[in-house]
Structure formats: C-alpha cells, structure tokens
Structure 1
Amino acid sequence: MEIRAPYIIVGAFVLSAIVAVFGFVYWLNNVGGIGKRETYQLVFTDPVSGLLVGAGVLFNGIRVGEVTALELVPERPREVRAKIAVAEHTPVHSDTRVGLDFQGLTGVPVIALEGGDDPASPPARGPLVAEKGAGRSMTQAARDALRRVDAVLSENAAPLHSTIDNLSTFAEGLARNTSKLDGIVAGLERMTGGGTPAPRKVVYDLHAVDSFGLQHHAALPAPLIIAEPTAITHLQTQRFLFSPEEENQGFEAVQWSDSLPALVQARLLQSFENYDIAHAPFRADSGVEGASRLLIDLRRFEIVLGTQPRAIISFSAKIVDQNGQVKVAKILDDSEEMTSLTPPEAAAAFDRAFGALARELVMWVAATD
C-alpha cells in the first residue's frame, strides 16, 4: 500500500492538470477574448493621435474588442482606416456612431462605439465613418479653443483697450464723487425705509380768511368751479423755496402741509365759503356742469433772500365761461417782510401775504357780474 500511494497521487494530479487545461481553453474561447469575433472597417477623417493596434474597443462604455489593424489611404491623405474585431452579437448597426475616447490620466486612446437611435436599423455592412473631430484629444481641443480666443483678442485689441480706458475713467469719476454717491445711497435708503430714519419734519399751513368785515356786501356769482391751480414743476412741492435757489440751514426739516397748488386751492375754497357759503365755488371733481371756472395759475411762492428777506406770493386769476371765453382776468401778488430767516417767521410772512391775496381775490370775484 505504501508503494502504490504515490502513483495514485500522481494520477490525480495529472487528471487535474488536464481538466484545468481544457477549462482554460474553454474560457479563452468563450469568455477570455479569443472566441468568435466579427470584424468591421472604420474610417477616420481626422488624425488618430496615439491609437495603436491592440487598443480597446468600447461599445456604450463596455469593452467588446480591440483594434486589429491600422492603415493609411494613399489616395486620400486625410483618412485613416482601422479594422476592429468585436465580440459576436455586438449590436453594431449602420447608424452606430464612431469616435475616439481618451482614458486615464495619460489619455490612452480607445475606439468608442455608441449605439444609434433606431433599433430597427440594419447591421453594418460597409465601413463606418467616424464623426468629424472624433480624433481630437482634450489637449488638442483646448489648444484650438485657446487659438480662437487669441485670434479674437488680436482682432479686437483696440476696442478692448478703449473699454479698459473707459472703465478706468469711470472708476476715477466714482472716486472723485464718493461723498455724493454716499448721499444718493442714503437718500434711497430713506425712501425705501432702510437705514437711519429721517427726523420728522415740522409742518406749516396757510389759513383761510375768516372775516371780511364791512367789505362783505355782494354775493358771489353762482355757479363757479375752482380747479387746482396750475404751476410749473418747481412749484409743485412741499418745500420752502428760495430765490436765488439754495439750501438754507434750518429749513431742511420743515415743509408745507400739502403741495403748494393743492394747499392754495384748499384755502381759497375755504375763504370763499367763509365769505358766502351759499354761493361758494365748487371743486372741479364735484360733478357740477354748466358752470364758469375760476382758473388760478401759481407764479411765485418763495422767499427772496437779501438784507431784508421777503415772502412773495403771486398768481393770476381768470374767470372762463362755459364756452371757454375769458370773461375777466387779474394778476395778484403780495410780499411780506421777515424779521429773521427762520421757518416760523417765514411761515407767518407767507400766511399774511396769502391772507391779503385771498381777501382781494374773493372781493374781485364778488364784484364780477
């Protein structure tokens, strides 16, 4: 038994080796890459830098074969023909797209096949033509892009230089006007409710004429409509205005109770009502039709600066009939001296001037037929 044991071991080893050889051959023919293959011709119209015989062939990213031959076409110098062998049943059809892919950090080129959109397309019979630019690597593509950028910059050097100069000029202008820009931004913040809230302004008003005394003797013509006085944009404000126009310390935080045209209209209406409430004029939006109109055009409402500041109010008045004909017209103006250039004194002077003009206007209208 001891003599026969080595022969049994040797026999078992030989049988195992034979089985392993047959298994390896089977693997090579079915899985390992030397099974039944199908060959195809590929045509590249661009350089295929780095592509070698034996390079892999991928179909939708999966390796299915390798390159078996590469050759040039003498009659077509730009073309490169490649022969590939791929695994049987690889769905290479007539609409299969051909390209080059570069794998790894070193950019090893492989042929990349991509299935077409039509599953019913016939199998490929003739050569498959690669897409234009399929042979360009990322490095070559980057070089081409940089070359085009350089060409664009060269062609537009003068406009670019001019643009840079303009930006430099603009930046210098911003630097010179930083304080003004800060003021504009602060104003926008106040308008939008951001930033430090502006201090509340002191509001001043005009007063209607309450009593006409012995001058009250004639009724007002009726009906009569007073429209809001017209005025240039400069006068359509709530600020205290100055001539010559300038900012005066102490008047930044004061204003009138309404825009000047609206304020004048309201106080004139009240003055007419205080004179003759039964025949007082109507507002333009009251809906009264067939009435004459009293048109007021505000001409001045300002403080005239000088050694003796004065508050001046001036406006024209016209009574126009239903046909648009001017019946009568008059210019009214008045000025009042100010003892000091302060908001309370200015408001009081304007109030005195307005009272005199309102009284004169009411009496003039009452005397009109």
Structure 2
Amino acid sequence: MAVSDIVVSRSWLMKSMIAMPLLAATLAGCGTAAKNDTYDLSAPTSGAGPSAKGRQILVQQPTALQALNSEQIVIKVSSSEIQYLAKAQWSDKLPRMVQAKLVEAYENSGKVGGVGVPGQGLAIDYQVITDIRAFEIRTGGGSQAVVEISAKIVNDRNGSVRGQKVFSQTVPTGGGSNEAFVKALDRAFASVTTEIVDWTLTSI
C-alpha cells in the first residue's frame, strides 16, 4: 500500500469518527421533540377609544404568580387546586405573550403616537403596567374560561398614577377539548385587551 493510500485511509477514518457522534446527537434530538400542541393568542384589530396620536406608551411585561408565569395552560379544578392542560402549551411564557399582544392591540388601534416595550428607546409619556390575576379554565359547574388583568397607567414623567382598573371576562368553553378551552381563553383575552386599550385611550 502506498503512503498516499495510508494518509487517505486515516483521513477517512477520522472523519467517520467525528460524523458518528453528530449523527447520534441528531437522532437523539429527534427522539425528544415536543409532543404538546402549541397555541398562540390573538389581538384585537381595532379600538373604540378616542385618538391619542400625541402620546407614546410603554407596555411593561405583566407580573403574575408562578403558576401563570410559564407556558402551561392552567385548569382550576377548585378554589385551592390547579392542574395543567395535558398535551397543550402556550407558544411562550404567558406574561411575554400578553405583553406582545397588548402592544399589537395598541398598534392595531392606530390611535397612539407610538407604543413599545422597555429597551426600544421611545420617548415615553405613559407606562401601562399590568398584573395577570387569572388566566385559566374553571371546571366547577360547567367549564368556563376566565381572564382577569389589573392595569395601571403611570405618567412616565412624574410617576403619578393616571388610572387603575381591573378587567375581567368569563366565556363558556362550549366543549371539553383542548381546542375548545384555548379558543374560549382567546376570546376572553381579546375582550379584556379591547377594554384595556379603549380605557387607556380615554385616560391619556
């Protein structure tokens, strides 16, 4: 065997030894693919409040208890017990989703001068600060989707609270499937979001 043949053989062997772990890692990754159905929330496309074109607002990420601060969809089976919807999840942690959809809803209204999140460098007039108090399916006495969000409008220049209100909506699920639960939650959230946007436009 020529020296060149030995060099080629050793090179092929080294490449094969590197490729095998990579192949194993790829196959292992396929075996751990998520099996949950993943859902998103929608945002209203319009708002009925007055125009506030001269105002720019900042939407902070909502606060929430740990049970709601995840991708899991909450099922409340009693006043003191919660479970999570099997084989289903949100596309992101719930507070981040709510923040993104609120921003989208303000933008869709076309009635504010600007809207953004922390870090985007806007010259802010007001901050919208929210807390997710409920975002769940309640099963007692017929299943219902319940969304409750507390909101504050804070003057960014002096820190004073311009307004504070709790928004809540309950929607019958109309079925016991994962899809029925998520659709009901989406309808309840869309209604609450519309109310928050209209209230903000009226308040600023």
Relative to the length of structure 1, the TM-score reads 0.44
1:200 positional shift: 2.2
- Give 2:67's aligned amino acid: H
CA RMSD in angstroms comes to 2.2
Q: Which residue in 1 is equivalent to 2:142?
A: 308
| Residue 128 (structure 2) aligns with | 294
Cα-to-partner distance string for 1:298-333 (whole Å, 9 max, x where unaligned): 111111112310111111111111222111111101
Q: CA deviation at 1:282?
A: 1.6
The equivalences for 1:1-369 within 5 A come to 197=32, 199-212=34-47, 215=48, 217-219=50-52, 222-244=55-77, 245-247=81-83, 251-276=85-110, 279-321=113-155, 322-369=157-204
Shift, 1:242, TM fit = 1.4
TM-aligned CA deviation for residue 198 of structure 1:
5.5
**Which residue type is aligned with residue 228 of structure 1?**
Q
> 1:246 & 1:233 partners in 2: Cα distance?
12
1:262 aligned partner, one-letter code: R
CA contact 1:295–1:317 (8 Å) conserved in 2: yes
Query: Does the aligned pair in 1 maintain the 2:53–2:111 contact within 8 Å?
Result: no
Q: Is the 8 A contact 1:308 1:339 kept in 2?
A: no
Task: For residue 267 of structure 1, report the CA deviation from its aligned partner.
Answer: 0.6
Contact 1:199 1:253 in 2 (8 A): no
Higher strand share: 2
Q: Which has the higher contact order (CA 8 A, sep 6+)?
A: 2
User: Helix, strand or coil for the counterpart of 1:367?
Assistant: helix
Aligned residues: 173
Aligned counterparts of 1:325 and 1:246: Cα–Cα separation in 2: 36
CA contact (8 A) 2:57 2:126 kept: yes
Deviations 1:42-70 (A, max 9, x none): xxxxxxxxxxxxxxxxxxxxxxxxxxxxx
Note closer, same or farther for the CA distance 1:358–1:246 as it changes in structure 2 (3 Å cut).
Answer: closer
Task: Give how far 1:216 is off.
Answer: 5.3
1:223 alignment partner, SS class: strand
Q: How has the CA–CA distance of structure 1 residues 315 and 247 changed in structure 2, closer, same or farther, with 3 Å as cutoff?
A: closer
Q: TM-score, normalised by structure 2?
A: 0.76
Q: Cα offset for 1:252?
A: 2.2
Q: Distance in 1 between matches of 2:46 and 2:160?
A: 32
How far apart are residue 291 of structure 1 and its match? 2.9
Secondary structure of residue in 1 paired with 2:52:
coil
Cα shift at 1:221: 5.6
Query: Structure 1 CA distance, aligned partners of 2:72 and 2:140?
Result: 20
Q: 1:220 to 1:257 in 2, by over 3 A?
A: farther
CA distance in 1, matches of 2:102, 2:111: 13
Q: 1:199 Cα shift?
A: 4.8
Contact 2:54 2:112 in 1 (8 A): no
Which runs of 5 or more structure 1 residues have no equivalent in the other structure?
Answer: 1-192
* CA separation of 1:220 and 1:349: change in aligned 2, threshold 3 A: farther
Alignment partner, residue 116 of structure 1: none
Q: CA deviation at 1:280?
A: 3.5
CA distance in 2, matches of 1:319, 1:356: 19
1:197 Cα deviation from its structure 2 partner = 2.8
1:57 counterpart residue number? none
Are the structure 2 counterparts of residues 272 and 199 from structure 1 closer, same or farther at C-alpha, using a change threshold of 3 Å? closer
Which amino acid letter does the alignment assign opposite residue 196 of structure 2?
L
Q: Secondary structure at the match of 1:288?
A: coil
Quote the Cα distance in structure 1 between the aligned partners of 2:52 and 2:89. Answer: 36
Is the 1:272–1:281 contact (alpha carbons within 8 Å) kept by the matching residues of 2?
yes
Residues 218-248 of structure 1: per-residue CA shift (max 9 Å, x gap) = 3356121111111121211111101133546
